[in-house]
């Protein structure tokens, strides 16, 4: 049995703060959904501060940092991929939102599609989840789920336009 994530655990190391999504991963039911919603809320100020190419640099850095913080936190919790770790959902949601029109309707659909694919784990998401271990495994299955969300979302945006 691993360590239970709580506010004391979150404050025990800076990696835990990020990995647990600034506390959003501490929600006892559906922490991945709460982490995704926290990412959506944070997306607006991040996008305003990091226009264009800078946001992609931020995403790449967040992914690389995520490999380490998720690995460190999972190790400290004594589990492979504990549900309380939501940094992977956050980075994946930001990736989806950067390609999503700015209307609330499109963004809500984008987050919902990501959650659908993150939970369902269609191939190769499930295979990545099983094959890759450590922080890279934690991060990669969510990036693959983001790819599925974008594969559904972008044709819808193209077909119905960017209005919302």
pLDDT of residue 102: 93
Task: Flag whether pLDDT at 164 surpasses 90.
Answer: no
Give 12-38 pLDDT, tens digit per residue. Answer: 999 999 999 999 999 999 999 999 999
Task: With CA atoms as reference, report the closest residue to 136 among 38, 84, 69.
Answer: 69
Note the pTM of the prediction, 2 decimals: 0.94
* 3-class SS string, the chain: CCCCCCHHHHHCCHHHHHHCHHHHHHCCCCHHHHHHHHHHHHHHHHHHHCCCHHHHHHHHHHHHHHHHHHHHHHHHHCCCCCCCCCHHHHHHHHHHHHCCCCCHHHHHHHHHHHHHHHHHCCCCHHHHHHHCCHHHHHHHHHHHHHHHHHHHHHHHHHHHCCCC
* Phi-psi region at 29: left, alpha or beta (left = phi > 0; alpha = psi -120 to 50): beta
Rounded CA-CA distance 164/157 in Å is 10
pLDDT at position 40 over 60: yes
Asked if pLDDT for residue 3 goes beyond 90, the answer is no
pLDDT mean over 137-148: 95
* Residue (of 147, 144, 134, 143) closest to 63 by Cα position: 143
Q: What is the pLDDT of residues 89-131, one digit of tens each?
A: 999 999 999 999 999 999 999 999 999 999 999 988 778 777 8
pLDDT tens readout for residues 54-88: 999 999 999 999 999 999 999 999 998 899 999 99
Question: What is the pLDDT at residue 132?
Answer: 82
Domain spans, the chain: 7-160
């Amino acid at each position: 049995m691993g360590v239970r994530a709580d506010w004391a655990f979150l404050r025990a190391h800076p990696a835990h703060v990020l990995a647990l999504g600034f506390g959003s991963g501490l929600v006892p039911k559906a922490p991945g959904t709460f982490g995704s919603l926290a990412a959506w809320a944070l997306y607006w100020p991040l996008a305003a501060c990091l226009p264009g190419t800078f946001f992609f640099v931020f995403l790449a850095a967040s992914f690389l940092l995520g490999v380490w913080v998720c690995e460190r936190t999972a190790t400290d919790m004594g589990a492979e991929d504990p549900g309380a770790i939501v940094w992977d959902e956050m980075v994946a949601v930001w990736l989806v939102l950067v390609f999503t029109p700015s209307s609330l309707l499109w963004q809500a659909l984008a987050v919902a599609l990501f959650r659908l694919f993150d939970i369902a784990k269609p191939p190769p998401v499930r295979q990545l989840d099983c094959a890759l271990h450590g922080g890279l495994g934690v991060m990669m299955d969510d990036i693959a789920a983001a790819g599925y969300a974008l594969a559904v979302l972008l044709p819808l945006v193209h077909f119905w336009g960017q209005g919302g």
